[in-house]
């Protein structure tokens, strides 16, 4: 029996088990009926409103454009989304145009996931967030048809899910202090750096808490000697790692920095999809996987598996997203050393109920699919 037949059989069996009434005896179970139909894709633009302005080394914004996606099959609906921070180069218009060009109605079997997602990937170059929205919705749909969450389908242990960091963007001393106080429920703080006030930001945080820090320079450091000096300074102040310290084009300089750094160096903007994992080996100690860059869960899972095989660290990150995409990424979190899944916590208009943080850690439950539902 091949994988597709196994998944279909599992889905039918679970569906039958869930609907068989108590009056049916064990020897007189109804024969499960196969599902049938075609995939129907719908989508709508949506703006994510940020609680605080979000500032990094290269830009600042108060909202993030988003597109919410539904993928329906035989009365069951899977949910996905495309989030578009500026540097991805996508817009609501480009995402809707890409999604509108797809003909998913040609597929009558959602469990042919590789076939469907290869069709989506080949429909046009780039468009990574748009492709991720379909991938997430398809994983949600098939997980619901099987009655299982994806972390369980992948054989991952939910108790291995790490704590998530909470992000403190670049801001005034007063706002940084307020954000640090608001982050009290979280075990790790992620600090955005890359401007002239980097040390002041860290000292402000350290005046309030001694929780571990992870630092994201967002390509903001261009002098390797000064970057190394700063990393040594950070290592003395409870920092776990430094993410994308130098511009992604400065490969030799980053490799030089990695060889001398007392802290792990993690790739973010340098890394998009699966082939980039091999390119990162020897230049970075680990990778930050984001669904909006990787085109979704299928490739993100492959990236994490390859990174592990190469002896690299794995981080699961996010953009500003609703609990839909955050919950999807959380399904992969037991594969990660670190997680930065707080994008839903930074917005005021979340449209989904999904993954929860308990005592600072990602708590995976048995909701089928990606673990999120609209509210």
What are the E-state strand segments in 76-130? Answer: 76-83
CB 283 within 8 A of CB 301: no
pLDDT at 30 (0 to 100): 43
pLDDT at 308 (0 to 100): 97
Average pLDDT, the chain: 90
Asked whether the predicted pLDDT for residue 29 surpasses 80, the reply is no
Q: Which domains does the chain have, with CATH numbers?
A: 40-151 (3.30.390.10), 152-374 (3.20.20.120)
CB 242 within 8 A of CB 265: yes
Asked whether the predicted pLDDT for residue 31 surpasses 80, the reply is no
Asked whether the predicted pLDDT for residue 12 surpasses 90, the reply is no
Q: How confident is residue 37, by pLDDT bands cut at 50, 70 and 90? A: confident
- Considering the chain, what percentage of its residues have pLDDT values greater than 70? 89
Closest to 52 measured CA to CA, from 37, 36, 63, 44: 63
Q: What is the pLDDT of residues 354-369, one digit of tens each?
A: 999 999 999 999 999 9
CB 153 within 8 A of CB 161: no
pLDDT at 88 (0 to 100): 83
pLDDT at 10 (0 to 100): 43
From residue 183, alpha-carbon distances to 172, 267, 324 in Å are 16, 25, 22
Distance, CA of 109 to CA of 113 (rounded, Å): 9
More reliable by pLDDT, 40 or 21? 40
Distance of CA 17 to the CA centre of its chain: 32
pLDDT at 11 (0 to 100): 43
Q: What is the pTM of this model?
A: 0.88
Asked whether the predicted pLDDT for residue 324 surpasses 50, the reply is yes
pLDDT at 14 (0 to 100): 39
């Amino acid at each position: 029996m091949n994988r597709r037949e196994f998944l279909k059989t599992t889905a039918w069996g679970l569906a039958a088990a869930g609907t068989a009434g108590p009056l049916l005896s064990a020897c007189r179970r109804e024969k499960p009926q196969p599902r049938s139909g075609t995939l129907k894709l719908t989508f709508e633009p949506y703006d994510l409103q940020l609680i605080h302005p979000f500032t990094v080394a290269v830009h600042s914004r108060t909202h993030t454009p988003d597109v919410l996606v539904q993928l329906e099959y035989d009365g069951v609906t899977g949910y996905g989304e495309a989030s578009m921070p500026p540097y991805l180069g996508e817009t609501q218009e480009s995402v809707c145009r890409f999604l509108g060009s797809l003909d998913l109605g040609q597929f009558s079997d959602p469990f042919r996931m590789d076939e469907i997602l290869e069709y989506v990937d080949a429909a046009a170059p780039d468009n990574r967030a748009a492709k991720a929205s379909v991938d997430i919705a398809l994983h949600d749909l098939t997980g619901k048809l099987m009655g299982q969450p994806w972390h369980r389908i992948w054989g991952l242990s939910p108790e291995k899910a790490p704590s998530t960091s909470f992000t403190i963007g670049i801001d005034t001393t007063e706002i940084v202090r307020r954000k640090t106080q608001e982050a009290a429920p979280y075990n790790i703080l992620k600090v955005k750096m890359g401007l002239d006030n980097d040390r002041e930001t860290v000292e402000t945080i350290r005046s309030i808490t001694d929780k571990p820090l992870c630092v994201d320079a967002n390509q903001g450091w261009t002098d390797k000697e000064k970057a190394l000096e700063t990393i040594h300074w950070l290592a003395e102040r409870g920092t776990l790692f430094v993410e994308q310290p130098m511009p992604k084009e400065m490969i030799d300089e980053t490799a030089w920095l990695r060889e001398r750094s007392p802290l792990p160096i993690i790739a973010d903007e340098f890394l998009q999809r699966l082939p980039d994992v091999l390119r990162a080996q020897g230049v970075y100690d680990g990778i930050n996987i984001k669904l909006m860059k990787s085109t979704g869960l299928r490739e993100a899972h492959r990236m994490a598996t390859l990174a592990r095989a190469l002896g690299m660290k794995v981080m699961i990150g996010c953009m500003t997203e609703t609990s839909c995409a955050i919950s999807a990424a959380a399904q992969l979190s037991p594969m990660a050393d670190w997680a930065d899944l707080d994008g839903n916590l930074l917005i005021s208009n979340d449209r989904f109920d999904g993954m929860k943080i308990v005592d600072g850690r990602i708590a995976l439950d048995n909701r089928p699919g990606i673990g999120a539902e609209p509210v």
